Amino acid sequence: MTTKKRLSAGLVIGLVLVGVLTVLVAEFDAAIGQWFADRGVAQNPLEYPLVAVALGLVANAVLRGTRSHAFVRPGIRTELFLKVGLVLMAAGLNINIIMKDGAAGLLQALILVTSVFFFTWWIATRFGLPPQLKAVMACAISICGVSAAIAAAGAVLAKKKEITYVTALVIVTALPLMVLMPWIAHAIGLSETVAGAWFGGNIDTTAAVVGAGTLYGEVAQQTASVVKMAQNALIGVVAFLLATYFVVRVERKPDERPSAAVIWQRFPKFILGFVLVSVLASTGVLTGNAVTVLKALSKWAFAAAFLCIGLELSVRELTAMGWRPVVVYLSATVFNTALAFGVAWLIFGVLWA
């Protein structure tokens, strides 16, 4: 079989596999909810994001054990399912709320991205990491995980193994945060808005942000998503600044300065779809029944995305570069967690309350 045919077959079989497993997630979720309801527990403590990630991890182990993971890999499209889910979710969000949370989210993002980026850069310098790895890591932690890592890698000509490494770190860190942060927020009694802003400002990958928000409540899910999107919107600007810095300061080729068009090229376009669907819903083009159906469909898309987080987890890459990058990443994540908590509380709990 040629490589192209093999990729196509892997894509189709991978997508079918994700589809079947997502149906299983819904079936398990309903059954678990029923089990708790029969015992007098109205709120199912094992919400569907947890069921989806757990099932994804089990399937991941089976696929790797049978050496078929690489074959179905093209169908494991976390980002695609997540972005479709976010576009559909906008049907349940008024555009005024998006603008309000988006403005606050943008302010939060400016503070967090700047502080976390430079903190990561500083600590990575102290640990002697190479400039390209520093840039990819700082972007992944301060903006939005995998997609920021890829954008930064393009801007600074990072090696493929550095992207793979940071991607593995992003997912390994995001999974426990997705479960722990809602639990901590609940323990300290955070409002859904502040908790959502905290998740959005801290967890690196957007899928896990939406997962944490979903675990905490519908308002938290919406706030977390909008705040994370505001952060994602900065990716183009950071990629452009990084590319300029590397060309001028690291490579010393000032004549090859990148074009500002990078800002638009790297802009996450799904945000445009998100805003458009929200405008359609807010102006009454989409009626009540359509909104209900779209919200249900967004839940299906999110379930597929959460499943894919479990499916794509790989810890093998983490052994490739030793312990120093892991220490840098974890230190920066702790810093991000603490700072995001303070900033989210200040902006969403006090200034925008």
Partner 1 sequence: MDDPRRVRNGLSEDWLSVLVGLLVVLLVALGGLARVPWPLFGWFR
| Footprint on this chain of partner 1 (rule: CB under 8 A) | 23, 26-31, 34, 77, 79-80, 83-84, 86-88, 91, 153-155, 157-158, 243, 258, 262, 265-266, 268-270, 272-273, 276-277, 280, 285-286, 289-290, 293-294, 296-297, 299-300
For residues 28 and 17, give the distance between their C-alpha atoms in angstroms, rounded to a whole number. Answer: 16
- Least separation in angstroms between residue 176's CB and partner 1 is 26
- Least separation in angstroms between residue 292's CB and partner 1 is 9
Identity of the residue, 80 or 184, whose beta carbon is nearer to partner 1 in the bound complex: 80
- Least separation in angstroms between residue 346's CB and partner 1 is 31
Do residues 208 and 178 lie in contact, with contact meaning Cβ atoms separated by under 8 Å?
Answer: yes
- Least separation in angstroms between residue 6's CB and partner 1 is 20
Strands (E) across 248-322 are located at none
- Least separation in angstroms between residue 188's CB and partner 1 is 31
Identity of the residue, 10 or 104, whose beta carbon is nearer to partner 1 in the bound complex: 10
Identity of the residue, 184 or 280, whose beta carbon is nearer to partner 1 in the bound complex: 280
Do residues 296 and 26 lie in contact, with contact meaning Cβ atoms separated by under 8 Å?
Answer: no
Identity of the residue, 104 or 235, whose beta carbon is nearer to partner 1 in the bound complex: 235
Identity of the residue, 63 or 239, whose beta carbon is nearer to partner 1 in the bound complex: 239
Longest dimension (CA), the chain: 70
**Helices (H), ranges, 157-269:** 160-187, 192-202, 206-216, 218-232, 235-245, 261-265
Buried/exposed code over 170-209 (b: 16+ C-beta within 10 A; e: otherwise):
bbbbbbebbeebbeebeeeebbbbbbbbbbbbbbbbbbbb
How many residues comprise the chain? 353
